[in-house]
Amino acid sequence: MLEARHLTKRYEGADVPSLDRLDLTVAPGEAFCLLGPNGAGKTTTVNLFLGFIQPTAGQALVCGIDAATDPLGARAKLAYIPETVMLYGALTGLENLAYFVEVSGLSAPRDDLMALLAAAGLPEAAATRPVRGYSKGMRQKVGVAIALARRAQALVLDEPTSGLDPLAANEFAALIGRLRGEGLAVLMVTHDLFLAKQCATRIGVMAAGRLARVFGTEDVDHLGLERAYLDLFATGRAA
């Protein structure tokens, strides 16, 4: 479960907050996609949940743990997949997974790790090759396998499909759907309306640090979402 309570961030020297009293709950089994123009406050929200920055007011809670006061406790419950998953290029996908599992204080036999990589969609032949030869999509799959191995209860993703070809993005969306189905609470930042429609249960549009609109994915088709998004900014209603 991810919960923002009146979450506010005003960077030092800024006249206005970059995030302004955000209230948001992402329940287990739910995927919430955050859309919005550049500078709307999406990454600020993610960084607050990760405990990378301190809120000016309010709370970012991961399974009830305050990310500001107990960042390690919050991060133990959460997996983060950034735009590019950072892995050790000289190690194979399997070795990377084994390493990240070990630094999380866990252990798993090779067969279990291979099964996790397979569940994330990485073929066996690729899992035993050095990561420096991986595509971006393959790196993302190792990132998902790490999240699975750590038994994270919440998953936060920042632009995970940017730069992926449509096939790889589609495959990734299906994978996120499966993780959601397994009960993870998923918060994903994206500029990709199609991806949002494909894998979210709810879609929020941020503007100037506020959640301007929230859509249930059942309530809007892809074109409707695009039209609503463009309308929101064309008419200046979100400002």
Ligand X SMILES: Nc1ncnc2c1ncn2[C@@H]1O[C@H](COP(=O)(O)OP(=O)(O)OP(=O)(O)O)[C@@H](O)[C@H]1O
Work out the angle at residue 48's Cα, subtended by the Cα atoms of residues 85 and 69, and round it to the nearest 5 degrees: 115
Q: How far apart are the first and last CA of the chain?
A: 29
Residues 212-231 as x/- pattern, contact with ligand X by CB under 6 A = --------------------
Residue 62, Ramachandran bin (φ over 0: left; ψ between -120 and 50: alpha; else beta): beta
Instruction: Judge whether 160 and 83 are in contact, CB under 8 Å.
Output: yes
Least distance (Å) between residue 96 CB and ligand X: 26
CA distance to 32, 121, 235, per residue, from 7 (Å): 16, 35, 27
The residue among 93, 152, 163 whose CA lies nearest residue 126 is 93
**Contact positions with ligand X (CB under 6 A) in 5-24:** 11, 14, 18
Nearer to ligand X, 14 or 223 (CB): 14
Range in contact with ligand X (rule: CB under 6 A) among 34-42, 117-125, 141-149, 225-233? 34-42
- Is the distance from CB of 169 to CB of 9 less than 8 angstroms? no
Q: How far is the CB of 203 from ligand X (least distance, A)?
A: 15
Q: Which of residues 39-98 bind ligand X (CB under 6 A)?
A: 39-44
User: In terms of CB distance, is 8 or 44 closer to ligand X?
Assistant: 44
Burial of 56 (0-12, 13-18, 19+ CB in 10 A): middle
Q: What is the closest distance, in whole angstroms, from the C-beta atom of residue 70 to ligand X in the complex?
A: 22
Query: Of these, 2, 33, 35, 36, which contacts ligand X (CB under 6 A)?
Result: 36
Structure tokens given for 237: 């209603």
CB of residue 206 to ligand X, shortest distance in Å = 6
Compute the least distance from the CB of residue 52 to ligand X, in Å.
Answer: 10
Residue nearer to ligand X on the CB measure, 8 or 96: 8
Q: Which residues bind ligand X (CB under 6 A)?
A: 11, 14, 18, 36, 38-44
